[in-house]
Amino acid sequence: MNFRHMLTVFKKEVKDLVRDRKTIMSNLVIPIILMPLLFTIMSGSMEKMEQDITENITVGLTTGSDTQEIRNLLEKEIFAGKPQIKLNGVFDDPVEAVRNNEVRFVLDVEKNFAANLEAEQPYSITVIYDQSDTKSSGSFGILAAAINEYSQKIVLERLAKKGIDTSILEPVKIVQSNAASEKANKNLMLMMILPMLISILVAVGGIPAATDLVAGEKERGTFEPLLTTQSSRMSILLGKYLTVTLFSIVSVISQFIGLAIGAAVSPGFFTMGGGGGDLSVYVPPLALVLIILITISLGMVFAALQLAVSTFAKSFKEAQTYLSFFIFVAMVPAYATMMMQPDDISLSMFFIPLLNSIASLKMVLGNVINYSYLGIALGTSAIYVVASLLFAASLFNKEQVLFRS
């Protein structure tokens, strides 16, 4: 292997990729534009749905419950002080009304509720709603809380009349004390999304370059002349390998530039439904260096494997077909570990390719840093880099694989 030849191949391939406007646009420019747009749309949709669930709760009555007494019960007692809950119509067929989205809930209140209330006997309020509808399911908790609050108020009034201390209803008080660090709480959504995104982006970021650098050159007829130059096959392979690795890392960086812009434009995207609060990310310098090296080594492993597949493929289209499966290779472990918390991560994960990167990211973002585990992840990643590169080199040096027909 000649370092100067390898560097020459590397520079040549980088220049060719930079000149390819379609590749630059699809893998570098579009993500920077698309991510903020996606964040804005998704964040707006989530905020609109949450507002609709909590602020627009329409309630109807069955025909049998349409009395002034029941209306007074609902409007002046149960729904008092809750302007988001509104009575809206009377329905002969409450099930059909709910299914047709005419109203979110239909209540059926016992006609003799007043007599039962006076006799201190229970009465029922039947809530008819669509449990498969997101808005109805989300609003049900608010409606049920209003009814329970009214029920609790009646209980307290009855105990007060009987001269009974209301504290008898609460023999045990639960006091919550959060043992998690404040930073871990704020990074909950990041721990779920960031490791998944990085693993998938690193796995697919170098595919366009890898497809073009071997299979594409075979198809264009420029690969054989390249092999006749003074450069050894190992120098050519390493030059192309560094190009794919660089392209993969740059692709990930462009995605995260878009991610950062999106987070700045729509900050509610990462905090909505999560631990709450503003994003607060602090990673110790040594841990940050280790995480970057682990991520780069993951990109190097995938770059070697992608070059190996591109070497095996007979054409550009065949290489694209094979390499498209890499996204599934990354998606399965990424989604399988999406809900995993730092405390759930076992030592064995740091020995498994791809999982070691995901586990390291989750651990650091969760503010649970174990440098021994990070060292193991980096060491095993280095082994996988060497193994994957040797595999790619073995295929690159076999004539029957390189020029199979």
End-to-end CA distance of the chain: 28
Domain boundaries, the chain: 3-41+182-402, 49-168
pLDDT tens, residue by residue, 102-143: 999 999 999 888 898 888 889 999 999 998 888 888 899 999
* Three-class SS of 245-271: HHHHHHHHHHHHHHHHHHHHHCCHHHH
| Residue with more model confidence, 354 or 186 | 354
- pLDDT over 70, % of the chain: 91
Look at residue 340 in the predicted model and tell me its pLDDT. Answer: 85
| Unique residue bearing structure tokens 């009304």 | 97
**Residue among 245, 243, 242 nearest 17 (CA):** 243
Q: How many CB atoms lie within 10 A of CB 360?
A: 29
Q: Name the pTM for this structure.
A: 0.70
In 10 A of CB 44, how many CB atoms? Answer: 13
CA–CA distance, 76 with 87 (Å, rounded to integer): 12
Pairing of strands 105-109, 57-62: parallel
3-state helix, strand, coil in the chain (%, to 5): 70, 5, 25
* CA 381/CA 353 separation, integer angstroms: 7
Work out the average pLDDT over 366-389. 92
pLDDT in tens, 213-259: 888 888 888 888 888 888 888 899 999 999 999 888 888 888 778 77
Asked whether the predicted pLDDT for residue 360 surpasses 50, the reply is: yes
Q: What is the spatial distance between Cα 317 and Cα 321, in angstroms, rounded to a whole number?
A: 6
Residue type, 55: E
* Dist. CA 247–CA 28, nearest whole Å: 9
Q: How confident is the model at residue 277 (pLDDT cuts 50, 70, 90)?
A: very low
Q: Which residue has the higher pLDDT, 25 or 106?
A: 106
CA distance 254 to 237: 26
Helix crossing, 233-265 with 3-19: angle to 10°?
40
Q: In sequence order, what DSSP letters do the residues of 293-322 get, joined into one string?
A: HHHHHHHHHHHHHHHHHHHH-SSHHHHHHH
pLDDT at site 275? 42
Q: For residue range 172-223, list pLDDT tens digits in order.
A: 888 887 666 555 555 677 778 888 888 888 888 888 888 888 888 888 888 8
Domain range 49-168, CATH class: alpha beta
